Amino acid sequence: MNTNLEVHKTYKLYIGGNFVRSESGRYLPAQSPAGEHLDNYCHASRKDFRDAVVAARGAFDGWAKKTAYLRGQILYRAAEMLQNRATELTNEIVRSTSATQSKARTEVNAAIDRLVYYAGWTDKYSQVFGAVNPVASSHFNFTTPEPTGVVVVLGPDEPSLVSLVSLMAPVILSGNAAIVVASEKYPLPAITFAEILATSDLPGGVVNVLTGKRADLVSHIASHMDVNAIVDGCGVAEIGTALQAGSAKNLKRYAANNLAPVDWFSAKAEDPYKILETTEFKTAWHPIGL
């Protein structure tokens, strides 16, 4: 007879390249759709969000200064690591969401493909969206996109993994740092994905992952003065309204990316114009030499 006590894993927050418990000490039970207690996960607080912003701001400058080619290689490495742990992610999705094994594996494969797709854009988007402008004087005039800074990304509940990757990748490929608020309903795949990021070449703080209740963080996201942009994919109208109302305080960019669950697997989630939602355009003049 087995008398060992069953020990449930507590999935931690991912902040600054480290896995940490919530400073509040709170956690929530993760349950399957059938009501089975799977594991526990941390309930992020305002302080956790502020710590994530500090970590993202600290990582932003170094990440933005890396060459576009290197950022692409790092994203590609993350895709490799995800592929190496595809079975684990598939099982995590199955037990968390009651998806079939086939459907879960399709989602993991789509997430891998999405990372590879956006990795390829890191050294191309500037050429596609930048311009050499005609001017009346003897100057060259260039317009180039640059990262906006610290970006908060809110993922939808379904599908929990491929949607998160689809929202996060176009944000960080240009050099931004991100704070990702994972699915409230199915958070475990997101934190498992964070474990994959932690073992890739992505510098700590470039992506930070928080779990818990969105409603507890919305007002802090909206009012934080060191957040430059918000990418909202959660699809909750009340949250979108609150975020937009608060974003006026420091002129945060706000972009809504509300797709139907099936569309996260389609070309609609691969729109390269999503990169421009978190970039600014810089114009430079250079005299033409004689």
pLDDT tens, residue by residue, 175-212: 999 999 999 999 999 999 999 999 989 999 999 999 99
Provide the Cα torsion 57, 11, 165, 59; round to 10°.
20
pLDDT band, very low/low/confident/very high, at 136 (cuts 50, 70, 90): confident
Asked if the structure places residue 114 within a domain, the reply is yes
Asked if the structure places residue 24 within a domain, the reply is no
Asked if the structure places residue 92 within a domain, the reply is yes
Asked if the structure places residue 26 within a domain, the reply is no
Report pLDDT for 290. Answer: 54
Asked if the structure places residue 58 within a domain, the reply is yes
Report pLDDT for 9. Answer: 85
Asked if the structure places residue 150 within a domain, the reply is yes
Asked if the structure places residue 21 within a domain, the reply is no
As a whole number of angstroms, the distance between CA 109 and CA 266 comes to 13
Asked if the structure places residue 31 within a domain, the reply is no
Contacts for 74 with CB less than 8 Å, ≥ 6 apart: 66, 200, 201, 202
* Average pLDDT over every residue of 133-141: 80
As a whole number of angstroms, the distance between CA 80 and CA 197 comes to 10
Report pLDDT for 103. Answer: 95
> What pTM was estimated for this model as a whole?
0.91
Residue 121's Cβ-count burial label (10 Å; 0-12, 13-18, 19+) is buried
Q: Return the closest-CA partner of residue 166 out of 117, 202, 203.
A: 117
CATH of residue 152's domain is 3.40.605.10
Q: Which domain holds residue 203?
A: 45-279
Tokens standing for residue 44: 């992020």
> Is the pLDDT assigned to residue 162 strictly greater than 80?
yes
Report pLDDT for 65. Answer: 96
Helices (H), 66-207: 68-84, 86-97, 101-119, 125-129, 162-172, 188-198
Mean pLDDT of the chain: 92
Q: Return the closest-CA partner of residue 175 out of 257, 275, 54.
A: 275
Q: How many domains does the chain have?
A: 1
> Is the pLDDT assigned to residue 234 strictly greater than 60?
yes
